[in-house]
Chain A
Amino acid sequence: MAMRVEARQLGYGYPGRPVGRDLELELGAGEVLCVLGPNGGGKTTLFRTLLGLLAAQAGEVRLEGQPLEALARSEVARRVGYVPQGHVAQFAFTVRDVVLMGRTAHVGLFAAPGATDREAAERAIAALGIGELAERVVTELSGGERQLTMIARALAQGARALVLDEPTASLDFGNQVRVLREIRRLAAEGYAVVFSSHDPSQAFLAASRVLLLARGGALRQGTPAEVITADNLRQVYGVEVRVAPLEGTNVCLPVL
């Protein structure tokens, strides 16, 4: 079955502190959803709920038509890959070992990764073009190299949907562009991709749809051109922004 991530009347948040409600979401293969919103607007909370790391407060999440609660952790991992925000490497694993950890859901409880898993990891490493880094240790990588490693790990999961939490945060300009390029390429290959960002211009560059979260749970959803308007950005971020057309796309320019 083709990849489909759905949320129906989803309420999410923490016990005693609801963050958002009545979210309707439907994302299919080849689509990219960019989630925008202020700090504390609930982007990470929403992602944790979509991944089943946080129980939904209302409604439900469905992956490939099946409700999330009915799936075991390993079944979720085979359907959705996850790139967490600001991964901090505590131990000096090699890039290859880290990517191989993406195969966990395919490896038996008492087993170690087999030949199939190693091949899948090598494919993911090759797909991200980080073959030269494979034997380097992650604690010595630059932020951009580490982010590509984390994306490779998510690909190694063998999932057809990917959730990336602020994948361009604290990256230099070149690496931000590289990550966005990877997101577009993955969508072209048929992945369903959800990512969050602090830069609304990235939605024009890489996303087919935008979900704008405001504090207090108000939502807007649609194509980038529909959602990213000067009015909406002013409401959500509280600053003046000009949205200007440029060479077939739009850019957001703050007014200082």
Chain B
Amino acid sequence: MIRRTALAYALATGALALLTVFAFALGRFPISALELAQLVANKLFGAAYDIAPSAETVVLQVRGPRILAALLVGAALAAAGTAYQGMFRNPLVSPDILGVSAGAALGAVLGIFFSQSALVIQLGAFAGGLAAVGLVYAVGSNVRRHDPILSLILAGIVLGTLLGAMIALLKYLADPYNQLPAITYWLLGSLAAVSPGDLALAAPFALAGLVPLYLLRWRMNLLSLSDDEARALGVPVARLRIAVVCAATLMTAAAVAISGIIGWVGLLIPHAARMLIGPEFSRLLPLSMVLGAAFLLAVDTLARTVAPIEIPPGVLTALIGTPFFLWLFVTARRAWQ
């Protein structure tokens, strides 16, 4: 298990590094590896270089923030998904299925609708996400006569539908010239318009969510047991669960605030990581984040290079995610790998 873990980490970080180089190099304005190396050498050690100023602008001002955003959003969504899956004892839950994303979206759309500042939009995303996951969990845990996993998923889907209807109403009412494009763009998910300011605003939220998850990384394992078991082992379960829900929702909201809704990352990536190295949370969390960052970076790079127009990355993740989810449903046993 230890060798397998080390190998998985080596491969994942290697892939992430390679993808980052590709992401800087590829695009409408190709930049060679040599130019990149020169630029890095110049910035780090002050070495002389002779590349066009326009290339420097592309790397630092255009692709740089976008790549950083992809890494941040991918890692945050994957971390949140890993926490939700462990906590709800259910490898099929994710921020999307639990209604967190839809709740965060409604909060943010409300903010756009009422022409609020970026900070308020972000806080709205957080409050909406937290309210949604709280409601889903309350409903799911009060359903006694059905399979708890199924009721959780169904509650999330039902609430997601309601939130979707409310978002549709806001879109219907929104000013079609100023607000509607912003809302639509937001709901499709995109990293195209990320500014360094957006990153600076959202990064602290993501970090504030990550720190408790990292600190509680071993204890998180206990939440995958039944409540009685975890309490008998000495864990005040209710308090721990609230802390983890808040942290994971904060990370989801931060991601949603940067990129809008990009689905599937939070479901797909933790599952893939768990297949590679098992469910032990303190080993799983970092790998999940590396894989999430690499996955979203790959998706976003594809999104801006494969076609003459940009494809929203949320569309690509859905194209990959839907077959994966169906495959899980068909093949997954009760005992999850």
B215 lies within 8 A of A84 (CB): no
Instruction: Give the contacting residue for B236; candidates A73, A110, A111; CB below 8 A.
Output: A73
How far is A74 from B235 in the complex, measured between Cα atoms in Å? 7
Nearest-Cβ distance from residue A149 to partner chain B, whole angstroms: 13
Residue A157, interface by CB 8 Å: yes
Is A102 at the interface (CB under 8 A from chain B)? yes
Task: Find out whether the CB atom of B225 lies under 8 angstroms from the CB atom of A74.
Answer: no
The reply to whether B235 and A104 form a contact with Cβ atoms under 8 Å apart is yes
Contacting B at CB under 8 A, from A126-177, are 135, 137, 139-140, 153, 157
Enumerate B213-236 residues with CB–CB distance to A below 8 Å.
Answer: 215-219, 221-222, 224-226, 228-229, 231-236
- Please give me the residue from chain A that is nearest to B85 by CB atom: A91
The complex places the Cα of A93 from the Cα of B277 at a distance, in Å, of 10
* A84, B279: Cβ atoms closer than 8 Å: no
Q: Is the CB of A139 within 8 A of B335?
A: yes
Q: B64 on the interface (CB 8 Å rule)?
A: no
Question: Is B1 on the interface with A (CB-CB < 8 A)?
Answer: yes
Q: How far is B235's CA from A75's CA once the two chains are assembled, in angstroms?
A: 10
CB within 8 Å: A-B pair count: 93
Other-chain contact of A157, B89, B217, B233 (Cβ < 8 Å): B233
Chain B residues in 8 Å Cβ range of A84: 226, 228-229, 232
Q: Which residues of B contact A (CB under 8 A)?
A: 1, 86, 89-91, 215-219, 221-222, 224-226, 228-229, 231-236, 274, 278-280, 282, 335-337
* Cross-chain pairs A/B with CB under 8 angstroms, 28 sampled: A73-B231, A76-B234, A77-B234, A82-B228, A82-B233, A84-B232, A87-B229, A88-B226, A90-B90, A90-B224, A90-B335, A91-B279, A92-B279, A93-B224, A93-B278, A94-B280, A97-B280, A101-B221, A104-B233, A105-B234, A107-B219, A109-B215, A109-B219, A110-B216, A110-B219, A112-B217, A135-B1, A157-B234
Q: 4 closest A-B pairs (Cβ-Cβ)?
A: A77-B234, A105-B234, A139-B335, A91-B279
